[in-house]
Amino acid sequence: MLELTRRMTTSRTSMRRIAGAYMDEDGFVEGTFNTNFLRLPLNERQKNLNLAKAIPFSETNEELKDYAFGTEHSGQMRQLLEGIRRSELKNDALMETFYDIIAEHYQSEQEYAIFMFRDVYDVPVKAADKERLGESEEVYDYIICAICPLQGEYEPGEPDDGFLYPMFCERSGNSHQIGLYHRKDAKRQRGLEELISCNF
């Protein structure tokens, strides 16, 4: 995960796009956004990178846990996430479907925001001694979702929940696995474990 997060600075980021929705406590969408990440003002880029970084920078196997898609229903969610990823967050119909599913299956006692990020990482080849050789070994094209309680009008707090898809394992993306995040000191919501196996 450090290989991903060390690039999440305003000077090194390759983040391509950001999209999301603002939700009321009853799960109704109050507004959405979808834009080129690099067109954001510098301070907005930094603030949003902090949200995205919280997911992979968390404690692996404690806050960020690896789950495999296995059942027929979870396969539906995998197909939706693949569609969102391959469309580079630009397919509004897929994004709206995703927000609706979150609204139905994720419970919160307050207003919250869903942030989706799309990033592309050229994974460098490394020699046996771990020295970087320079050329790209593969392209890891992935999305990060951060679900954040709102602390003011459209002002997100630290993410409570989220995910990394596909999971980054052995320096490679695995589309049959997803990393689910839950912040340790956040109140447990009914949320993402159920989300990945829901029927829709």
Checking if the pLDDT of 15 tops 90, the result is: yes
Q: Tell which wins on pLDDT, 165 or 190.
A: 165
Distance (Å, rounded) from C-alpha 28 to C-alpha 50?
26
Task: pLDDT band for 188, please (50, 70, 90 cuts).
Answer: low
What pLDDT sits at residue 44?
Answer: 96
Checking if the pLDDT of 190 tops 90, the result is: no
Distance (Å, rounded) from C-alpha 4 to C-alpha 1?
5
Residue at 107 is within a domain: yes
Residue at 29 is within a domain: no
Residue at 164 is within a domain: yes
Residue at 30 is within a domain: no
Checking if the pLDDT of 115 tops 80, the result is: yes
Q: How many domains does the chain have?
A: 1
Lowest-pLDDT range of 29-43, 122-136, 148-162 = 122-136
Residue at 28 is within a domain: no
Across 114-118, 119-123, 158-162, the highest mean pLDDT is recorded for 114-118
Closest listed residue to residue 64, CA positions, set 165, 174, 148, 171: 165
Burial of 166: CB neighbours in 10 Å, binned 0-12, 13-18, 19+: buried
Q: Tell which wins on pLDDT, 186 or 184.
A: 184
- pTM beyond cutoff 0.85: yes
What pLDDT sits at residue 94?
Answer: 97
Domain limits for position 130: 2-9+16-23+35-195
Average pLDDT, the chain: 86
| Average confidence (pLDDT) over 18-41 | 94
Block residue for tokens 């196997």: 61
What is the end-to-end Cα distance of the chain in Å, rounded?
31
Residue at 66 is within a domain: yes
Distance (Å, rounded) from C-alpha 168 to C-alpha 128?
20
Q: Are 138 and 117 in contact (CB under 8 A)?
A: no
State pLDDT tens for residues 39-97: 999 999 999 999 999 999 877 667 888 888 765 555 788 899 999 999 999 999 999 99
Residue at 101 is within a domain: yes
Residue at 200 is within a domain: no
What pLDDT sits at residue 126?
Answer: 67
What pLDDT sits at residue 160?
Answer: 92
What pLDDT sits at residue 51?
Answer: 96
